[in-house]
Amino acid sequence: MQTATISFDPFNSLSDKDCHERIRAARAKLGKKAVILCHHYQRADVYQYADLTGDSLKLSRLASQTDSEFVVFCGVHFMAEVADIMTAPNQTAILPDLAAGCSMADMANLAKVERCWRELNEILNADQEVTPVTYINSAADLKAFCGEHGGIVCTSSNAGTIAKWAFERRPKVLFFPDQHLGRWTGHNLGFAMDEMVVWDPDLELGGLTPEQIKKARILLWKGHCSVHQMFQKSHIDAFRAKHPEGKVIAHPECNFEVCAAADYVGSTEYIVKTIKEAPEGTRWLVGTELNLVDRLAEEVKPQNKIVQFMATTICMCSTMQRIDPQHLAWTLENLAEGKVVNPIRVPEHEAKLAKLALDRMLAIS
């Protein structure tokens, strides 16, 4: 297999119609050699090509079960890294556009987490007292950090189970990079707000006093998803005033006020399942990414269910949006010609430690 490529430039100006024809032709040529994985947040014009769909937990499991040579991941960078880690050495994970990152994942990095750990060690014995837990929305080296320090990965589907596992081992948790998922998870485990403190990685000791650190049970990294911060409690209040019979469901990346005001809180898989299984004729206000909400609204329309987006402005995951038909056509056409574009390869030593943390997660969820 060569690595030289067909340039992307001509694909940039390709019409969607031409892209679709070329995607179909390349797929027919590739057959079972390539499998296309799509996250729930993926845009409709790409999602239609998915062989497998799901949230990152489901997709990481499915990636480990596929025997296709190429796993084309229509999602964001950390997901393709997980696919690389979970697949066999002779399989290659591919991200059609390398600019498809996750702004939340980028809010933590290894240098900052290592500095945090060093600073915690000035106050406590971190390796005995703190379990590092990283949300799957994080770079592979942070998963490796967790693997190395007795920690674990979680997703929004299993954060509660994972946090319990962590607290069975050590009295404190360092949760990164999403403070909101961490806070909601801690709240559900019964922790009070003053036992969950925010660690600001740009300040010395996270901006906390030694006493606050000693008292804390959960150290919440100061990170967030900007898409999910668009949802506000006022949206829920307005919906309830108009539709008192309606139900509200939110993703745990939303802020605490939104989660507390919702009827249900859970991962994308949970949101999809809950609404699909709900009685006919029900009305839903949904606080998660727009592509998922639009797709779900169409799917449940025949059962007279009404699905509304929580925010009043359009908010999509703009990085995931970068995986467009042009990039998919370019990727698949190259593959069909024996050229691998945008392979995601996690360095071996890092992949081994990251897999340790991922396997711990998969074993208990």
Closest to ligand SF4 by CB, 317 vs 356, is 317
Query: Per rule CB under 6 A, is residue 80 in the interface with ligand SF4?
Result: no
Q: Going edge to edge, which strands form the sheet with 343-344?
A: 52-54, 34-39, 70-74, 92-94, 343-344
How far apart are CB 252 and ligand SF4 at their closest, in Å? 11
- Of 96-104, 241-249, 271-279, 322-330, which part binds ligand SF4 (CB under 6 A)? 96-104
Q: Among 72, 102, 166, 344, which residue interacts with ligand SF4 (rule: CB under 6 A)?
A: 102
Select from ligand SF4, ligand CIZ, none the partner in contact with residue 310, using the beta carbon and a kind-dependent cut-off of 5 to 8 Å. none
Residues near ligand SF4 (CB under 6 A), total: 13
In the block, tokens 């797929």 appear at 27
CB 243 within 8 A of CB 317: no
Site map for ligand SF4, 314-343, x if CB under 6 A? ---x-xx-----------------------
Instruction: Provide the H-helix boundaries in 43-158.
Output: 44-47, 56-65, 77-86, 110-123, 126-129, 140-148
Closest CA to 310 of 246, 243, 230, 241: 230
Beta-carbon contacts of 211 under 8 Å, excluding residues fewer than 6 positions away, are: none
Select from ligand SF4, ligand CIZ, none the partner in contact with residue 56, using the beta carbon and a kind-dependent cut-off of 5 to 8 Å. ligand CIZ
**CA dist 116 → 7, 113, 140, 159, 200 (Å):** 42, 5, 18, 22, 9
Tell me the two tokens of residue 174. Answer: 């360092």
Q: Among 227, 265, 296, 351, which residue interacts with ligand SF4 (rule: CB under 6 A)?
A: 227
Beta-carbon contacts of 255 under 8 Å, excluding residues fewer than 6 positions away, are: 180, 228, 229, 231
CB 270 within 8 A of CB 250: no
CB 47 within 8 A of CB 325: no
Closest to ligand CIZ by CB, 80 vs 136, is 136
Closest to ligand SF4 by CB, 77 vs 172, is 77
How far apart are CB 100 and ligand CIZ at their closest, in Å? 13
Closest to ligand SF4 by CB, 247 vs 251, is 251
How far apart are CB 357 and ligand CIZ at their closest, in Å? 15
13 is in an annotated binding site: no
180 is in an annotated binding site: no
How far apart are CB 237 and ligand SF4 at their closest, in Å? 24
In angstroms, the CA 254 to CA 105 distance is 15
How far apart are CB 274 and ligand CIZ at their closest, in Å? 12
Pairing of strands 92-94, 343-344: antiparallel
- State whether residue 171 is helix, strand or coil: coil
365 is in an annotated binding site: no
Phi-psi region of 54 (alpha: psi -120 to 50; beta: other; left: phi over 0): left
Closest to ligand SF4 by CB, 156 vs 365, is 156
Select from ligand SF4, ligand CIZ, none the partner in contact with residue 227, using the beta carbon and a kind-dependent cut-off of 5 to 8 Å. ligand SF4
Closest to ligand SF4 by CB, 97 vs 289, is 289
End-to-end CA distance of the chain: 37
Q: Among 18, 45, 61, 103, which residue interacts with ligand SF4 (rule: CB under 6 A)?
A: 103
Q: What residues line the site for ligand CIZ (CB under 6 A)?
A: 39, 55-57, 136-137, 155-156, 251, 267-269
Question: Binding site: residue ranges?
Answer: 39, 56, 102, 135-137, 156, 225, 251-253, 268, 317
Question: Binding site for [4Fe-4S] cluster: residue ranges?
Answer: 102, 225, 317
